[in-house]
Structure 1
Amino acid sequence: MNEPIRRLSAVVLLLFFTLMAAGSWVQFVKAKQLGDDPRNVRTLYKQFGSFRGPIIVDGQAIVSSVPIDDPFNYQRTYTDGPLYAAITGYYSIGPGRSGLEASENSLLDGSADALFWTRLGELVAGTQQQGASVELTINAAAQKAAFDALGNRRGAVVAINPRTGAILAMVSTPSYDPATLAVHSSADANRVYQSLLSDQTNPLINRAIGGDTYPPGSTFKLVVAAAALQAGYSPDTLIDAPQELSLPLTTATLKNYGGESCGPTGKITLLEALRISCNTAFAKLAMDLGWPAIESMAANFGWGSGLNIPLGVTPSRLPVSPNQPEVAQSAIGQFDVRATPLQMAMVAAAIANHGVLMKPYLVNKVRDPDLRVIEQTTPEKLSTPMSPDAAAALTVMMQAVVKNGTGTRAQIDGVSVAGKTGTAETGLHTPPHTWFVAFAPAENPTVAVAVLVENGGDIGSEATGGAVAAPIAKAVIEAVLANAAGGN
């Protein structure tokens, strides 16, 4: 073989190996990246062209895949989309996935390890891959009651079964309709998504568990009261309650709501301080207890912990090494104390459950396409913030709040409700956030609830937790109790 032929052969061989390497790179190394590329139309057809499992509430599909005569084969539909949007999220060829559509994606699309044998059977039978159905813990009546009661106000509601941690309601308003993002035009889906992103009311944020956490206001007094009871105080213990509290290390003072006095003697019982939500009493109590005791109690209730329910939950926050004036402000849920509505519902649930906090969860069961249960959530203890005796004492104190204190608008005929109001300052020129946390029936609780209404709702600067948030909690509790009474 002469020299030119040898050189040509070497070049051809080099090109051959280059082609093999390029093919291997594309088919193996880059396969996942190319498959996940949103511009890959074949991938989109594959994803949307298979049956995606439904999401179920009270035996009814609130999200399902319906056959349709187009290249995608199926249309994702959302029944009462705005009502459940904070939970389900969206499944879209534009922005992708959110909510349970994202966290439970491998189950819904059939690719999860738990569905391996199902996929194998489908392969042998030559049938199309199908996803699993995801059954939620949500109580449809409670969910609707919460959504309707919030109305057009910005806020959130979370209701929990304190015995198990099952989430009975989770609502965030304003909401949106996931169906508008489930269209089969990426241009249209992206246009809707950009419109929702630019909406100043932030409808895409699940206020119940994420986004900006909120100052909890006087609902945080439950944490301080729990720390005091654990330290040996009783509901009848007298504590200082001046009309105006001088803060150490500063010339500033702390006052009660409206500048009012908590009593004629400057001292009141711990129960009375919670009943009328006395700021000066709890600020002084917190400084006496010391921040470590309060910080430890809050941590046991869940502050600082990341949760997956299976939606990701933004951790609630506490100030780091606050000085005495900052401790006083933190005691009334201000300064750098921040919480999600889920966090405050967890506080109420732990008190209701004799001091034991159960891990909150949204998914009850997962069934394969043949309706066999392949996953089921077992209730799990998260922590024990307080003793049964301390929880019983705090329950009595919270009952007084609703019976003849700041939370009377949560009263329900024939039902003993335990609750706590909160009105959190947000700035000099913005109305306060209003809160209410509660559980019922107080003697045998089956529901714990937290309500947040941003910036006073439709009342504005005159808003209080008792006036704005308590009636919403009442509506949710009534819905849960009525549903139970109906045998559902």
Structure 2
Amino acid sequence: MNKTIRRASVFCMLLVLALLVRVTWVQAYQGQALADDKNNRRNTIAKYANPLGNIIVGGQAITGSTATGGKDFAYKRTYTDGPLYAPITGYSSQAFGAKGLEGVYEGILNGSDHRLRTFMDILTNKRADPGNVLTTIDRDVQKAGYDALEGKQGAAAAIDPATGEILALVNNPSFDPGRITGANDKAAWAELSADQGKAMENLALRKPQAPGSTFKLVTMAAALENGMFSSIDTPTGVKDPYIIPGTTTPLRSEAATPACNNVSLRTALRLSCNNVFAEVASKLGQDKMRAMAEKLGFNMKIDTPVRTDPPSKYPTKKMSVDQVAQTGIGQFDVQATPLQMAMVTAAVAGGGKLVSPHMVSDVTDSGGNVLDSMRNAPSTQVMSERTASMLRDAMRTVVSEGGGKPAQVPGAEVGGKTGTAQRGVNNSLPPLAWFTSYGKLNGKQIAVAVVIENSDTDRSEIGGGKLAAPVAQKMMEAWLKKK
């Protein structure tokens, strides 16, 4: 054999060897990763080859599956009362993936989760029968909030303070996830994505905004926990009119000057006196204010199991004294979701104990066997019972004598706090109308927070709870009067 042929043969052998090594590497080491790759269309086809498992509310499925008649995608997801439950379910789309509970529990619902596989599934390499997701959502509370928000742009969240169970998450506008479940729903997706996707924006969980005066509950808790006041009925010594510390800027309250001059914490909460809570925050300082806020869930991504991302926020960067004062009234750079403010109120209602909020109770296999349970959610004592009791006392005054009167539920103990949050450069956008409250009746309790974005009423009416408090009232009544 001449030298040229020998060299060509060796080169070809090296090429074959390299090919064998590469094939072995792909099959032995990269095979599973390639099979699981999100861009592998075979996975998407396999997900919709059979009916999906269901998301359950009150013992009834609010999802389903229907045959498409197609070869590749044999089934697609369907929804019952899609817009009502969209903040909970999210969507499962053959073209656009899955979000919300559909995304978090995608493996359970399509049968690919390894916990679902039986011995026979493993032997035959068959996809397991899908499981189900049981939620904590109460149908009546959810519907009450949804109906009460009709014609308004906003959101609401409700929690059972005793268990941490999320009873309702409501958004308006909402969307019908059934419109985008197929493989060819680009027109519907484009429509829902218009206006920066506001229709699909989860306001209740994932859009922190300035909480305004509802944050005064956090400020008051910090003051009481740090021993600044021993009673909510003694004068605070804070003057009205009031100049923001470190500035020459007067700070107005909703009540006309000097109604907030040297008032007690109870009166300050009822009249929503900005001077008192701004002064309290400036005296406490940023570190103590942030510590109280973080105990209540601020600056943390909370798994419900749908994650609150971005999280509600209390500033961590160094602030000036005037900025700290503004945080005391829920302005400057403080941001919160309705779920976060419902958590604050739930801790107050629950004697200072905050139970981790969650919207899923159990995850089961197709036979109903529990794979994962959140029924015994962890809790933390975030403030003393004494502090919580004083806060409840002051909040009851807001509802019985102040701007929270529209939240009254006949026969029930109800406490609340109104809020107005300024928005835009020089307050160019309509302010946010907030209301957060708790209700107790016959051993049942609930905490609710509501925000309204599209207000066109006078600021004093917003602060008085004219818009948001009636929504909270309907939700509380639906739970407390439930048989």
Distance 1:361 1:479 in 2: 20
Q: Deviations over 1:276-322 (max 9, x none)?
A: 11111222222233333322211111111121111111321112332
**One-letter code aligned to 1:160:** I
d(CA) in 2 for partners of 1:199, 1:36: 34
Q: Which residue in the other structure is 1:153 paired with?
A: 152
Residues 294-373 of structure 1 correspond to what in structure 2 (within 5 A)? 294-313=289-308, 314-319=310-315, 320-373=317-370
CA distance in 1, matches of 2:277, 2:413: 25
Q: What residue is the counterpart of 2:133 in the other structure?
A: 134
Measured after TM superposition, the shift of residue 444 of structure 1 is 4.9
Task: Give the deviation of 1:371 after TM superposition.
Answer: 1.5
Q: TM-score, normalised by structure 2?
A: 0.92
User: 1:464 corresponds to which residue?
Assistant: 462
Q: Which moved more, 1:380-389 or 1:360-369?
A: 380-389
Equivalent residue, structure 2, for 1:193: 189
Question: Which residue does 1:205 correspond to in 2?
Answer: 201
Q: Distance in 1 between matches of 2:398 and 2:334?
A: 22
1-structure distance, mates of 2:201, 2:29: 36
**Residue 81 (1) aligns with residue 78 (2):** no
Q: Secondary structure at the match of 1:209?
A: helix
Structure 2 CA distance for aligned equivalents of residues 443 and 482 of structure 1: 9
Note closer, same or farther for the CA distance 1:433–1:463 as it changes in structure 2 (3 Å cut): farther
Answering whether residue 222 of structure 2 is matched by residue 242 of structure 1, we say: no
Report the AA paired with residue 79 of structure 1: T
* C-alpha contact 1:395 1:418 (8 A) present in aligned 2: yes
Counterparts of 1:369-448 in structure 2, within 5 Å, are 369-427=366-424, 428-441=427-440, 444=443, 446-448=445-447
**What's 1:143 paired with?**
142
Partner amino acid, structure 2, of 1:422: G
Give how far 1:228 is off.
2.0
Aligned residues of 1:51 and 1:130 also touching (Cα < 8 A): no
Distance 1:25 1:176, change over 3 A: farther
- Provide the TM-score with structure 1 as the length reference: 0.91
Shift of 1:39: 6.1
Report the CA distance between 1:380 and its aligned residue.
Answer: 2.9
8 Å Cα contact 2:154/2:454 also seen in 1: no
For residue 447 of structure 2, give the secondary structure of its aligned residue in structure 1. Answer: strand
Corresponding residue for residue 105 of structure 1: 106
Deviations 1:337-391 (A, max 9, x none): 1111111000000001100011011110111111112221133334322111111
How much has 1:13 moved relative to structure 2?
2.6
Letter in 2 for 1:251: T
Q: Unaligned 5+ residue runs, structure 1?
A: none
Q: Which amino acid aligns with 2:215?
A: F
| Structure 2: tracts of 5 or more residues without a match | none
Q: Is the 8 A contact 1:354 1:391 kept in 2?
A: yes
Corresponding letter in the other structure for 1:42: R
Q: CA deviation at 1:431?
A: 1.2
Specify whether residues 303 and 401 from structure 1 end up closer, same or farther in structure 2 by C-alpha distance, changes over 3 A only: same
Aligned-partner Cα distance in 1 for 2:23–2:150: 57
Q: Is the 8 A contact 1:420 1:437 kept in 2?
A: yes
Any conservation in 2 of the 1:241–1:278 contact (CA below 8 Å)? no
In the aligned structure 2, how far is the partner of 1:480 from the partner of 1:385? 25
Contact kept in structure 1, 2:438 and 2:448, CA below 8 Å = yes
Larger CA deviation: 245-254 vs 416-425: 245-254
- The 8 Å contact of residues 160 and 349 in structure 1, kept in 2 or not, is answered as yes
Worse-superposed segment, 281-290 or 422-431: 281-290
Structure 1 pair 443–43 and aligned structure 2 pair: CA distance change class (3 A): closer
Task: Report if the CA contact (8 A) 2:399-2:415 is conserved.
Answer: yes
Q: Closer, same or farther in 2 for the Cα pair 1:446/1:56, shift >3 Å?
A: same
Partner Cα separation in structure 2 for residue 287 and residue 253 of structure 1: 15
Kept after mapping to 2: 8 A contact 1:244/1:254: yes
Q: Equivalences for 1:157-176 in 2 at 5 Å?
A: 157-176=156-175
Letter in 2 for 1:250: T
SS of the equivalent of 2:326 reads helix
1:58 aligned onto 2:58: yes
Cα gap change, 1:59 to 1:257, in 2 (>3 Å): same
Distance apart, 1:149 and its partner CA: 0.9
Contact 1:399–1:419 (Cα < 8 Å) also in 2: yes
Q: For residues 413 and 269 of structure 1, what CA distance do their matches in structure 2 show?
A: 28
The alpha carbon displacement at 1:124 in A equals 4.8
Q: Secondary structure at the match of 1:170?
A: strand
Question: Greater CA deviation, 344-353 or 49-58?
Answer: 49-58
Aligned match for 1:267, one of 262, 265, 289: 262
Q: Return 310-319 or 164-173, whichever deviates more.
A: 310-319
Classify 1:38/1:94 alpha carbon distance in 2 versus 1 (closer, same or farther; 3 Å). Answer: farther
Q: Distance in 2 between matches of 1:207 and 1:22?
A: 49
Q: Which amino acid counterpart does residue 189 of structure 2 have in structure 1?
A: Y
Contact 2:111/2:127 (8 A) holds in 1: no
Shift in Å at residue 461 of structure 1?
5.6
Aligned equivalent of 2:285: 290
Tell me, in whole angstroms, the C-alpha distance in 2 between the residues paired with 1:323 and 1:444.
Answer: 45
Question: Contact 2:129 / 2:366 at 8 angstroms: preserved in 1?
Answer: yes
Which moves more between the two structures, 39-48 or 271-280?
39-48
Alpha-carbon distance between aligned partners in 1 of 2:270 and 2:459, rounded to the nearest angstrom:
22
Alignment partners' CA distance in 2, 1:14 and 1:78: 57
> Aligned to 2:388, what secondary structure does the other structure show?
helix
Structure 2 distance, partners of 1:197, 1:170, is 21
The one-letter code of the counterpart of 2:249 is A
User: Is the 8 Å Cα contact of residues 353 and 445 (structure 1) preserved in structure 2?
Assistant: no
Q: Is the 8 A contact 1:242 1:262 kept in 2?
A: no
CA contact (8 A) 2:153 2:173 kept: yes
1:422 positional shift:
0.6
The change in CA–CA distance for 1:3 and 1:113 in structure 2 (over 3 A counts) is: same
Aligned equivalent of 1:251, options 248, 252, 273: 248
The alignment yields a C-alpha RMSD, in angstroms, of: 2.3
How much identity, in percent, do the aligned residues show?
A: 40
- Return the alpha-carbon distance in structure 2 between the equivalents of residues 96 and 61 of structure 1: 21
Q: Is the contact made by 1:432 and 1:460 (CA closer than 8 Å) also made in structure 2?
A: no
AA of the residue aligned to 1:350: A
Deviation digits for residues 202-226 of structure 1 (CA, Å, limit 9, x no counterpart): 1222111113x11110001101111
Q: How many residues align?
A: 475
Q: Which moved more, 1:10-19 or 1:218-227?
A: 10-19
Letter in 2 for 1:73: A
